[in-house]
Structures are given as C-alpha cells and as structure tokens.
C-alpha cells in the first residue's frame, strides 16, 4: 500500500546557538514562533503550514547521534538543506532582503530557486512556483 504523504509536517535543526537561529528564522525568513519549550531546548517556528523545530544541542530531548551543528562551515552535518516554497517569488527582492540581513548567498538557478545559509551553515533554498509550460 502506498503511503499517502500530503506535506512535510516539520524539520528539526540542531542548534549550537538557539537564540541566534531563532532570530534568523524569525527576522530574515519571517517565521513566527509557534511554540516555545525552553525547558526542552525547543523552539517551533511556523513556516506556512509546516514547522521548523530548532533544538538546542545538549538539552533534554537532543540526540547527539543526529549530527553536529557546523557554525561557519559551508554545510552543517546535522541537515543537508531546507527547501522552502515562496509565493509570490521575486528573486531580486529576495536577494536584496537576504543581503540586507548579511546572509551568505549561494548560486541562483531558475529551476531550483535562490539559496543561502543560516547562521550555523545549513543551506536554505527558496523556491518559487514552477514555470508554466
């Protein structure tokens, strides 16, 4: 029987600096805090209908075998990348916004969207709607 997947519910990112990561996802990507559980080291950010869970390393529910946050590295070992659908998609406006926030920006490709990196080196890709045929 095929599993009827509707959407991604949430992604968990392990963070060396939880407050810095919350500030990035809140202030740069406009993801509001949905639920805050500081006693667990967990902040859940709303990303449209999905959640981005930011989990502080070394806290109660952290699993060290999940990887290691990589501040300053090209890509952290705890996540390959996060791909976010953006509508309406304006590549120039997005690039200007990310640059204004000091985000290290990667290459832009029409079929893949814009990409950059959060403060701990996780790749974040911003994707617009597919081009019409």
Tens-digit pLDDT profile for residues 61-112? 877 665 566 555 454 456 666 777 777 878 888 888 888 988 888 776 554 4
Q: In what order do the strands lie in the sheet with 81-85?
A: 81-85, 123-127, 114-117
Specify the pTM.
0.75
**Contact (Cβ atoms closer than 8 angstroms) between residue 56 and residue 62:** yes
Give the H or E element holding residue 84.
Answer: strand 81-85
**Antiparallel, parallel or unpaired: β 81-85 and 123-127:** parallel
For the chain, which residues make up each domain, given as ranges? 10-61+79-127
Q: Which two tokens stand for residue 93?
A: 């406006």
Q: Which CATH architecture has domain 10-61+79-127?
A: Roll (3.10)
């Amino acid at each position: 029987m095929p599993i009827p997947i509707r959407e991604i519910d949430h992604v968990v990112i392990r963070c060396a600096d939880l407050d810095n990561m919350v500030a990035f996802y809140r202030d740069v990507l406009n993801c509001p805090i949905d639920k805050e559980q500081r006693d667990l080291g967990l902040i859940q950010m709303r990303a449209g209908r999905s959640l981005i869970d930011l989990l502080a390393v070394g806290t109660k529910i952290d699993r060290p075998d999940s990887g290691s946050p990589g501040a300053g590295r090209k890509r952290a070992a705890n996540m390959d990348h996060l791909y976010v659908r953006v509508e309406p998609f304006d590549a120039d406006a997005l690039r200007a916004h990310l640059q204004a926030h000091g985000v290290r920006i990667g290459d832009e490709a029409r079929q893949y969207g814009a990409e950059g990196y959060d403060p701990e080196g996780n790749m974040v890709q911003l994707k617009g709607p597919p081009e019409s045929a």
